């Protein structure tokens, strides 16, 4: 199964990269690497992660306080948010 990011989710990924890279060299790259690993896990096992609603699920990003919020579509997985778990819960719901 393939995946696609909403433009706003891609922006959140880029923001996270910039933030972690500003804290420590290469930390931003480690963050992106862990997000990519989470996306790969989702693509291989799309039903395995915590359900938030009937079609929406969350996969945690290892080593960082982020979760990938995604929806299962017929032929692909749609990444709705790269959600910082310290933000207001559910801020991404209007994207659905």
What are the sequence ranges of the domains in the chain? Answer: 2-86
The model carries a pTM of: 0.91
Burial class (CB in 10 A: 0-12, 13-18, 19+), 90: exposed
- Beta carbons within 8 Å of 16's beta carbon, 6+ residues apart: 28, 31, 32, 35, 64, 66, 82, 84
CB-based burial of residue 30 (10 Å sphere; 0-12 exposed, 13-18 middle, 19+ buried)? middle
Domain 2-86: which topology? YaeB-like fold (3.30.2310)
pLDDT tens by residue, the chain, 96 residues: 899 999 999 999 999 999 999 999 999 999 999 999 999 999 999 999 989 988 899 999 999 999 999 999 989 999 999 999 988 877 887 787
């Amino acid at each position: 199964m393939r995946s696609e990011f909403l433009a706003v989710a891609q922006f959140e990924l880029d923001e996270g990269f910039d933030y972690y890279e500003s804290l420590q060299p290469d930390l931003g790259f480690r963050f992106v690497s862990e997000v990519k690993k989470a996306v790969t896990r989702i693509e291989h096992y799309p039903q395995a992660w915590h359900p938030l609603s009937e079609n929406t699920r969350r996969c945690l990003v290892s080593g960082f306080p982020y979760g990938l919020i995604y929806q299962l579509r017929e032929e692909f997985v749609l990444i709705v948010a790269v959600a910082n778990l310290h933000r207001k819960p559910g801020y991404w719901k209007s994207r659905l």
